[in-house]
Chains A and B, each alone.
Chain A
């Protein structure tokens, strides 16, 4: 089963860019790369996802390595509200076909003034 590896924690100053890395060396050719974040006492919140090409949305950018074995979530200007645990998750083409979905432990992002 494909697995993701993320640093346990990262720190950033407010209004600076943040690059959150994720390694997924056993990714299959059809797995989608998703990023979610979770604030204390809340459910995970969707951030962004992609398959092969880099993706941008109003929240963040996702840079996917050419061999797809790693990806980076980019927050362009971190704010205090971005402090959360960020999860990089691999989803198969159809969730119902996966024998097991695995999630990493996530990266706890701290943002300071």
Chain B
């Protein structure tokens, strides 16, 4: 079956702009989690969505938001971009979002803020 897909794969934005990233989970998976990966901070949890509801949010400012649609596809939005937002943004899907589930990651969206 098809894996997790993320679009776009690469993005270049200017400070102050906003950006929307998209994630399509594996068919049948209802949980989608988003992560930010940078060389300095490593992998950091952003938030998790399950059945269109945000169940948990990491320690990121309110400029980072997301949503999930009825087909489990998810988007994350970053407003008022800052240089420090340059990172690889990863989404992962799993069946129910439990610790016992395997998490399947997408290839990521590489965001560069200039």
Contact = CB atoms under 8 A, between A and B. Distances in A.
Contacts, number: 76
B56 A36 contact: no
Interface residues of B, number: 27
B90 interface: yes
A98 B104 CA distance: 19
Interface of A: 30-32, 34, 36, 42-46, 49, 51, 87, 91-106
Contacts of B104: 46
A92 B99 contact: yes
Give 6 closest A-B pairs by Cβ, nearest first.
A96-B55, A32-B99, A91-B99, A43-B105, A101-B45, A103-B43
B90 A95 contact: no
Contacts of B106: 43
A46 B56 CA distance: 22
B70 interface: no
B44 A95 contact: no
A57 to B, nearest CB: 10
B56 A44 contact: no
